[in-house]
Structure 1
Amino acid sequence: MRPELVFEAVPGLTLQGNPLGDPAERHVPVYLPPSYHASNTKRFPVIWLLAGFASTGMSFLNFGFGRPTVPEMLDSLIRRGEMPETIIVMPDCMTRYGGSQYVDSAATGQYESYLTGELIPHIDRQFRTLPSARHRAVAGKSSGGFGALRLGMRHPELFSAVGCHSGDMDFELCYRPNFPVAARILEKYKGDIAAFFTRWESLDKKPRSEFALLDMMAMAACYSPDPSKPAPGNMRLPFEPRACQLVPEVWEHWKRFDPLTMLEASTCQDALGSLRQLFLDCGSQDEYNLQFGHRRFSARAAELGIAHRYEEFPDTHADTSYRYRISLPLLAQAIAG
């Protein structure tokens, strides 16, 4: 018996006519465990694995010297008996701006609705899944960790386990420090974010020095869209570019998406409290200050009596996919049949 990686074509009816003209049909990698084809009746639990910003489902398959791909890691964990056999789905929620944050936005498209209302039912129809929340988990890193935690808080009817690796949270610390950086880059384009993005798209080699503005633009498209403006540029920045002053009404809109803000809602507390497994971790030297937000989230969850497991490890933000060796077996055990 051998595991298999297949690529499922999903029509993406929810994404048709999206504001950025991104493709509606997506090809989604699906990892099938070793005994999947040994029986025509056996069903399997599912982990939905969400990629970070500027990455997508295909990114989990990238070869790196001395480092296993996620499917290779899964093969090893299952072969050694450290993880129950589980289907792993790696969605494609990429946009022209670099990512969707897995939210519904008038500037990018209905990616939360696509994943929860279209993609999950499609996978349950096409593969032998155990099609219930009891047997379904969601996990991810960075923007994927944010998406996993937020979806877990908003959709307890779909997920019973959540894994959040270095997920975006405490927006005051993880986003606001980059406002001046983005403003300085925007100054080169006379404050015209559409001019910046048009040039960015035209370049064969994207300038790393300008990535902070792309990231800020993408977050604004997700958290504070402005459909009255044409794309690119159909969003409201949370700061006034010239003096880099905060725009309070826009910033308040952003903060509604912050997991620390969401945690204060009783519905989110109930959703997290109902989980069979809630796992969070973060590098203690995270460059985006996410370790501080995770510490606050863990402390508040403990105050609320929400069972969870939080770990820190001595590393930064990048290249920490090895931490899936910890979370994926825990999630798989929680949702096993």
Structure 2
Amino acid sequence: MTRLLALLLCLMAQCAPAFAAQGRIVVETLRLQALEGNRIGDTAERRVTIYLPASYDRDPARRYPVVYLLHGATSDPREWLDGTYQGMDLRVALDAVADDAAYIVVMPMADNALGGSFYVDSAAFGRWEQAIAGELVAFVDARFRTLPTRESRGLAGQSMGGFGALALAGRHPDTFGHVYATSPCCLGLVGDLAPGGARWRQAPGGLLRAMAMAFAPADADADAATPPLPFVAGPDGRVREVPAVAQAWRAHMPLEGLRRDPAPYRRLCSIALDAGLQDEIPNVTAGAAAFSQALQQAGVAHAYEAFAGTHIDHLRQRFETAVLPFFARVLATPARPGACAGG
């Protein structure tokens, strides 16, 4: 009996680390100065949800890479954790990442009354680009044990968040080194957003209305009911460009920025994106393919996959088999300046 008890205790001791190897979720409330004074009266106090790996508490000398995960329009970081996407719990999925490749994940709440900020500096919604790339990164590096180099920082996002990830990565290659955009929305004026398309003959609603407010020229009298659009249909039914508004949209859109100047994307350590072939939003598939083609033409190394699926029906599968393993791999390199290919 004594030998049997000893054997059982030994087995329990060996199994205990496996059962105890769970990361934890921390929720912070951060007042972002860059959002103060926005035109829609949106709060500058933002909830930030953070995943800390299982080893974070038991190894106080260790520092970790960080991935900033940006949610989609009309979404919430809690949806990454509550089973909304095919039952996915991001904490459980991250716990499955090998310990030597573990990383922190930071999920800011960027929803607003119109459904989303698009993570750009906007006169209507506030300076979201500065809030994420500046204030939030500084807060996380000061509050948690991070590896504070671009080689150890990544951006990820889905839909509007994929837009934000590619936009911020291309504008801040000194801050972020890696990016993965899954089903990124609205990267450029392609698909249903193409100039002269039927989209512009319809009254703006939903996602298009949020884009119009986010991308409005700084001097525009932007109103949520009738936001300025880059293309409008005239009495004859023909769609015409509104130059000042179209210029403002192109200034924000990642595909347009990449075509103007691919140099910032060349500086990134790694780039990956994907899109579903059956996505209900035409500009997602068209925009991702066009972005990949523009990267290829500019000689920028990247990975692109067009998968069989719609906008969110494979989201859990994409995260568990593509997005999370991607960061486990690219962030495992030494975190020193110049360590990655884009340095």
Q: TM-score range by the shorter chain?
A: 0.7 to 0.9
Render the CA deviation track for 1:159-192: whole Å, top value 9, x for unaligned: 11000112132323142599756755x4xxxxxx
Corresponding position of 2:248:
253
| Distance change >3 Å, CA 155–CA 307, structure 1 → 2 | same
Give the secondary structure class of the aligned counterpart of 1:63.
coil
Is the contact made by 1:277 and 1:330 (CA closer than 8 Å) also made in structure 2?
no
Corresponding position of 2:190:
172
Corresponding position of 1:158:
175
More divergent stretch after superposition (53-62 vs 212-221): 53-62
Give the secondary structure class of the aligned counterpart of 1:263.
helix
RMSD, matched Cα: 2.5
The answer as to 2:257 corresponding to 1:262 is yes
Corresponding position of 1:127:
144
Report the alpha carbon displacement of residue 228 of structure 1 after superposing the two structures with TM: 5.3
Alignment partner for residue 221 of structure 2, among 229, 243, 255? 229
| Distance change >3 Å, CA 179–CA 223, structure 1 → 2 | farther
Task: Work out the number of aligned pairs and report it.
Answer: 306
- State the AA in 1 paired with 2:288: H
Equivalents in 2 of 1:71, 1:235: separation in Å?
A: 39
Corresponding position of 1:146:
163
Render the CA deviation track for 1:101-145: whole Å, top value 9, x for unaligned: 100011111111111111110011111111111100001111111
Is the contact made by 2:155 and 2:169 (CA closer than 8 Å) also made in structure 1?
yes
Corresponding position of 2:109:
92
Report the alpha carbon displacement of residue 234 of structure 1 after superposing the two structures with TM: 7.4
Render the CA deviation track for 1:4-42: whole Å, top value 9, x for unaligned: 001011121221222111111111100000100002221
| Distance change >3 Å, CA 235–CA 256, structure 1 → 2 | same
The answer as to 2:53 corresponding to 1:44 is no
| Distance change >3 Å, CA 143–CA 83, structure 1 → 2 | farther
Alignment partner for residue 314 of structure 1, among 274, 294, 308? 308
- State the AA in 2 paired with 1:131: P
Corresponding position of 2:13:
none
TM-score (structure 2 length as normaliser): 0.81
Corresponding position of 1:332:
328
Give the secondary structure class of the aligned counterpart of 2:108.
coil
Render the CA deviation track for 1:61-108: whole Å, top value 9, x for unaligned: 232485222222212x32xx3982110000112221111110001111
Report the alpha carbon displacement of residue 251 of structure 1 after superposing the two structures with TM: 2.5
- State the AA in 2 paired with 1:156: P
- State the AA in 1 paired with 2:152: H
| Distance change >3 Å, CA 66–CA 240, structure 1 → 2 | closer
Equivalents in 2 of 1:253, 1:86: separation in Å?
A: 36
Give the secondary structure class of the aligned counterpart of 1:293.
helix
The answer as to 2:31 corresponding to 1:7 is no
| Distance change >3 Å, CA 214–CA 128, structure 1 → 2 | same
Is the contact made by 2:22 and 2:54 (CA closer than 8 Å) also made in structure 1?
yes
Report the alpha carbon displacement of residue 274 of structure 1 after superposing the two structures with TM: 2.4
The answer as to 2:290 corresponding to 1:272 is no
More divergent stretch after superposition (7-16 vs 101-110): 7-16
- Structure 1: segments with no counterpart, 5+ residues: 187-211
Is the contact made by 2:170 and 2:264 (CA closer than 8 Å) also made in structure 1?
yes
Alignment partner for residue 232 of structure 2, among 240, 247, 272? 240
Is the contact made by 1:179 and 1:239 (CA closer than 8 Å) also made in structure 2?
no
Corresponding position of 2:83:
63
Equivalents in 1 of 2:301, 2:168: separation in Å?
A: 18
Report the alpha carbon displacement of residue 215 of structure 1 after superposing the two structures with TM: 1.5
| Distance change >3 Å, CA 45–CA 31, structure 1 → 2 | same
| Distance change >3 Å, CA 183–CA 293, structure 1 → 2 | closer
Alignment partner for residue 115 of structure 1, among 103, 108, 132? 132
Is the contact made by 2:192 and 2:199 (CA closer than 8 Å) also made in structure 1?
no
Give the secondary structure class of the aligned counterpart of 1:9.
strand
Give the secondary structure class of the aligned counterpart of 2:151.
helix
Equivalents in 1 of 2:226, 2:32: separation in Å?
A: 22
Corresponding position of 1:193:
none
